[in-house]
Amino acid sequence: MEVHQFNVKSLEQTCFEALKDRLCPEKCIGLWQFTKVWYIPILFQLKYEAFHFICENFEEVSLCEEFLQLEVQELADILGQDDLTVTQESKVYQSVLRWINHMPEERQGAISTLLPKVRLGLMDKSYITDNVLNNDVVKTNPGSHLLVSDTLKVMSQPSLLCSESGINNTLFCRRLPNAVLLMVGLFSNTIEAFDYRTNSWITVHTHPSLEDSMTHLDLYSTVFLGKCFYIVGGGLRRTSPSDRVWRFNLVTHTWQEMSPMKVSRYLMSANVLKGYIYAMGGSRNYTLHRTAERYQPNINQWTFIASMNEGRISASCTTLNNKIYICGGQSNRILNTAEYYNPDTNQWTLISPMGTPRCDLGVVAYMGHIFAVGGRDGPIDLRSAEAYDPVTNWTLITPMGTPRCDLGVVAYMGHIFAVGGRDGFRDLRSAEAYDPVTNTWYNVPEMVHRHRYFDIAVMNKQIFVVSCRTGKIVECYDYTTNTWSVVFSGMDHNDWVKCCVISGLPNMAEYCSPREPIIPRTQV
């Protein structure tokens, strides 16, 4: 690790980010094994990231060549993770057989170590009988054969699990989800989490003593960073913006007010890059900011960075190639300009302007491009969309079927999804998807409700829309069934609800449904 020898921290961080960005099913195990050998601080986090990637993408990883090179204890550590992401527990069992059959003579005895990590009680009884109990590797190992037999007995006589039988309850407990959707409502003083594996909501925090100035904020920005949820800026109205910052620690379940921003900001843009929070633009007393600042969590300090070339409100930003891109917005006019910030040089650089001025637009990075979708140009809501390639600049793509501003945009399953928004004074239920390969938009089913002031997130092959102004409602789009469904409906009105997807917490179980044993399990 030559970089570490030279003790160049910025270069170490750049290397960390580059390696993290290159995590893939084919190479993640080798990277994880490499980071376990070197006792270098920056590799500790990379080891965690690689291991988390393995668990989150287990089914793909288990089919790769590197998987077959794992040591038995390494494989046992992976299979034993409570949040191992698998669609069916039978996939875990099949991965064990594949690993053993790669070197059958040397590895057959490992079944006694690995089979207890498989949650047999979550599989179909007939599958266990046909494919596990009668498997040659299992049959020749007395301990494993007994484990399977005991599991089948419990399936037939559930009361055995509650007795002093010595049967491991974990075999019958659902694995934790690798991620949960977190919904924060300041007006209602609640934080709720959605567990997709049980299709249920859990109230994880209420805080009736939150300051009044915090509970009535709207148009604030939120970010998720380092096991914490941050609320940044916002205001009671345009003439009363806030510079205050609050943090909810997802491990300790505590709120804390952090150091304020250098400038009060309303309708600003915020993003996370390389472990820092960035706050850009916004306004105060109708004065637009060109300024931008960066928050460093470990020292609880905001510092100004270089100012943008344009003052902006109602812009949209994203990250690409370790740079922050901010597009459009409004100053004394609707802007078609866009620029990026390079943290290595502390410099903003204007790129070619967009073909159309846009504010209240949707921006997302995908496949090495920045997509700018919809928005409005003065009173005109836009159907048009365009894509920025850092090499070839902006290119108009096929326009959407419906004009949309204040829309939700996400990259998901090889497509760009444009969801909801407004067309004039009409809140939209419709949604559509863009296929970059064919350069076409197509309609997906309409949402159940019209949403105003909503947030959007992607989790577990579903798009979640969280809204508040018409009553707290959450609905999700399932790509596999091409349907929308309401997964939460509350009565809190006028709440500025935000959401994010959280993962990798040491206390994930606190954000999920109770993991009670499930007996019997009749389907895979």
Q: Which domains does the chain have, with CATH numbers?
A: 2-172 (1.25.40.420)
The mean per-residue pLDDT over the stretch 179-200 comes to 81
Quote the longest CA-to-CA distance of the chain.
78
Helix (H, G, I), strand (E, B) or coil at 243: coil
pLDDT over threshold 80, residue 150: yes
Residue with tokens 């007395």: 142
Predicted pLDDT of residue 6: 43
Query: Virtual CA dihedral for 351, 354, 359, 362, nearest 10 degrees?
Result: -90
pLDDT of 471 above 80: no
In the chain, % of residues over pLDDT 70? 87
| Predicted pLDDT at 1 | 46
* CA distances to 156, 261, 272, 393 from 309, in Å: 70, 20, 20, 18
| pLDDT tier, 23 (very low <50, low <70, confident <90, very high otherwise) | confident
Q: What is the pLDDT of residue 494?
A: 59
Q: Is the pLDDT assigned to residue 481 strictly greater than 60?
A: yes
d(CA 129, CA 125): 6
Q: Which two tokens mark 318?
A: 């994203």
Q: Residue 273: is its pLDDT beyond 80?
A: yes
Q: Check: CB of residue 195 under 8 Å from CB of residue 512.
A: yes
Q: Find the mean pLDDT for residues 224-229.
A: 88
User: 437, 475, 453, 430: which is closest to 194 by C-alpha?
Assistant: 475
pLDDT of residue 44: 74
pLDDT at position 208 over 70? no
Q: Decide: 80 and 175 in contact? Cβ < 8 Å.
A: no
Distances (CA, A) of 294 to 46, 247, 260, 274, 328: 23, 15, 11, 11, 21
- What stretch of H or E contains 480? none
pLDDT in the model for residue 509: 85
Sheet holding 347-350, edge to edge: 316-320, 323-327, 338-342, 347-350
**Residue 241 confidence (pLDDT):** 82
Residues 6+ apart with CB under 8 A from 126: none
For residue 245, pLDDT over 70 is answered with yes
Question: Does the pLDDT value for residue 524 go beyond 50?
Answer: no
Q: Structure pTM?
A: 0.80
pLDDT at 18: 62
Sign for the CA dihedral angle at 515, 25, 276, 454 comes to: negative
pLDDT category at 15 given cuts 50, 70, 90 is low
pLDDT band at 467 (very low <50, low <70, confident <90, very high): confident
* CB-based contact 397:374 (threshold 8 Å): no
For residue 520, pLDDT beyond 90: no
More confident residue, 14 or 80: 80
pLDDT exceeds cutoff 60 at 10 = no
pLDDT of residue 522: 37
pLDDT the model gives residue 21: 66
Lowest mean pLDDT among 168-177, 220-229, 513-522: 513-522
* Rg of the chain taking only CA atoms, in angstroms: 25
Q: Are 268 and 221 in contact (CB under 8 A)?
A: yes
Q: In terms of pLDDT, which residue wins out, 524 or 300?
A: 300
| CB neighbour list of residue 214: distance below 8 Å, 6 or more residues apart | 186, 231, 244, 246
Give per-residue burial for 177-199: e unless 16+ CB within 10 Å, then b: bbbbbbbbbbbbbbbbbbbbbee
pLDDT value for 5? 46
Query: Do the beta carbons of residue 300 and residue 258 sit within 8 Å?
Result: yes
Of 3 and 106, which is predicted with more confidence?
106
Could you give the 3-state DSSP secondary structure of residue 344? coil
* pLDDT number for residue 330: 94
Mean pLDDT, range 107-118, rounded to an integer: 95
- How many other C-beta atoms can be found within 10 angstroms of the C-beta atom of residue 255? 19
Of 139, 130, 63, nearest to 102 (Cα)?
63
Question: Picking from 10-24, 71-85, 110-124, 425-439, which range would have the lowest pLDDT averaged per residue?
Answer: 10-24
At residue 436, φ and ψ (nearest 5 deg) are -65, -25
470 pLDDT exceeds 80? no
Q: Give the 3-state secondary structure of residue 213.
A: helix
What pLDDT score does 8 carry? Answer: 47
**In the predicted structure, residue 176 carries a pLDDT above the cut 70:** yes
> What pLDDT is attached to residue 175?
87
Using the predicted structure, report yes or no on whether residue 172 has a pLDDT greater than 90: no
**Mean of pLDDT values over 350-374:** 95
Residue 311's alpha-carbon distances to 48, 292, 362, in angstroms, are 39, 10, 18
Q: Residues for the chain: how many in total?
A: 524
The whole-number pLDDT of residue 11 equals 54
If one compares 98 and 193, the residue with the highest pLDDT of the two is: 98
Residue 345 pLDDT > 80, yes or no? yes
Mean pLDDT of 488-503: 74
Least confident of 2-6, 77-81, 142-146, 416-420: 2-6
Lowest average pLDDT, out of 286-300, 355-369, 476-490, goes to: 476-490
**Predicted local confidence at residue 502, as pLDDT:** 85
Residue 348, pLDDT score: 98
Q: Report the mean per-residue pLDDT for the chain.
A: 86
Kindly give, in sequence order, each residue whose CB lies less than 8 Å from that of residue 524, ignoring residues fewer than 6 positions away.
88, 89, 90, 123, 124, 127
**48-57, 107-116, 154-163, 438-447: least confident range:** 154-163
